[in-house]
Amino acid sequence: MKLVNKYIDRDGKGRVKIICEEAEDMWQAYNLIAVGDQIHASTIRKVNQESATGSSNSMRVRTSLTLAVENVEFDTQAGMLRIKGRNMEENDYVKLGAYHTIDLELTRPFTIHKDLWDSVALDRLIFATDVTKHADLAAVVMQEGLANICLITPSMTIVRAKIDITVPRKRKGIVQQHEKGLHKFFDAIIQGILRHIDFSVVKCVILASPGFVKDQLHEYMLQWASKMDERKITDNKSKFVLSHCSSGFKHSVKELLADPNLATRLSETKAAGEVKALDAFYQMMHTDPTRAYYGINHVEKANNSQALELLLVSDELFRSSNVNLRKRYVKLVESAKENGCEVKIFSSMHVSGESLSQLSGIAAVLRFPMPEIEDEEEELNGHPED
């Protein structure tokens, strides 16, 4: 998704103009647009024109409209987003207040106006428009003295750093100079990895080269990380995979993506974080049910006691047509984050998201047991108010 321009004031009111470049972007836009927002976009309108002779002629014209959103539909098969609402501005073809439906299209810009861009919407906007947030895969293609650190998204490869350092040839009598130059080269690559690879997003880092350069780097990096107590590398060492490529230039990434073994590994890691979080919730329900609750009322009570350790929320809750209910979920997420809770927002299009939806769309793992939450519920059910 491309961000064309953005203006949001201190109170959170404002607009963003975006372009959806692929089908996945339409899903992100679906989660951004809510009932009560305004959408400005180009659309097709069927109009009737009367000729001088009195005959009526029907024609389709392209025009731009601003709609007050009353309904948002996402067609998963066509990857199309359909917005229904009333026209908010004077137009040559559509009366003020008249209903219209806009089909948002790929590569065609549209603007979203909100009275309040809350933290959930802003986080999703940043995620959708920052290509680095979609890069499940990173690759370091290298040869002696040359390396390219790349982030790979479903649609593009981005070179985040190019490292070009002269490494003296390995000759008799000057082996130490060769090793010193090679270590300087490896140090630069390690710093580039730490600076440009977000291990909370990236599921796999490929180290690739012709010959044994990749193996030498991998061994040197693990020894360095252990010595320096660099947790980013030691905690994620299982994500590093060694592979062969023909050179240290960017085009070698294509060779890696053509590797069927790599494709299998990536498919296995997709949405792994969400699946792991949901498994942790189910496991806690089994072993200590007083530390695992679902449903907005129970989770809010736990959050009020700053007891939340892990919060799982389905993105469909933020699409509720009830504005106050949407605000309630946003407030809970913001409060949980402030209390140091890890928050996972699940996609309702994924299997794990569907499972969470069956649990009301919201669940939590607590830091400590709170049996009183269930006790209060039973007491209320046992003593109904008159």
Residues paired with 17 in a beta bridge? 5, 111
Measured between alpha carbons, how far is residue 138 from residues 93, 158, 357 in Å?
50, 9, 32
CA distance 310 to 307: 9
pLDDT computed for residue 292 by the predictor: 96
Which phi and psi (to 5°) does residue 364 adopt? -155, 145
pLDDT digits (tens, 9 = 90+) for 75-122: 866 778 999 999 999 888 889 999 999 999 888 999 999 999 999 999
pLDDT computed for residue 384 by the predictor: 37
Identify whether the C-beta of residue 343 lies closer than 8 Å to the C-beta of residue 273. Answer: no
Residue 236 is classified by DSSP as T
pLDDT computed for residue 283 by the predictor: 94
**Environment class of residue 33 by beta-carbon count within 10 Å: exposed (0-12), middle (13-18) or buried (19+)?**
buried
pLDDT computed for residue 332 by the predictor: 96
Identify whether the C-beta of residue 104 lies closer than 8 Å to the C-beta of residue 83. Answer: yes
Please, what are the domains in the chain? 2-132 (2.30.30.870), 139-269 (3.30.420.60), 272-382 (3.30.1330.30)
Report the amino acid identity of residue 216: Q
pLDDT computed for residue 310 by the predictor: 96
Q: Percent helix, strand, coil in the chain (nearest 5)? A: 40, 30, 30
Residues paired with 75 in a beta bridge? 80
- In the sheet with 2-8, reading across from the earlier edge strand, the strands are 2-8, 14-19, 110-114, 38-50, 56-75, 80-87, 99-104
CA distance 25 to 81: 10
pLDDT computed for residue 382 by the predictor: 47
CA distance 345 to 363: 11
Which phi and psi (to 5°) does residue 323 adopt? -60, -45
Beta-carbon-side half-sphere exposure of residue 276 (alpha carbons within 13 Å): 8
Residues paired with 115 in a beta bridge? none
SS3 at position 134: helix
Cite the beta strand spans of 76-156 per DSSP E.
Answer: 80-87, 99-104, 110-114, 137-143, 146-152
Token pair in block for residue 8: 């949001």
Measured between alpha carbons, how far is residue 272 from residues 126, 200, 241 in Å?
21, 11, 17
CB count, 10 Å around CB of 45? 19
Low-confidence stretches of the chain (pLDDT beneath 50): 270, 380-386
Token pair in block for residue 303: 């959050």
Report the amino acid identity of residue 89: E
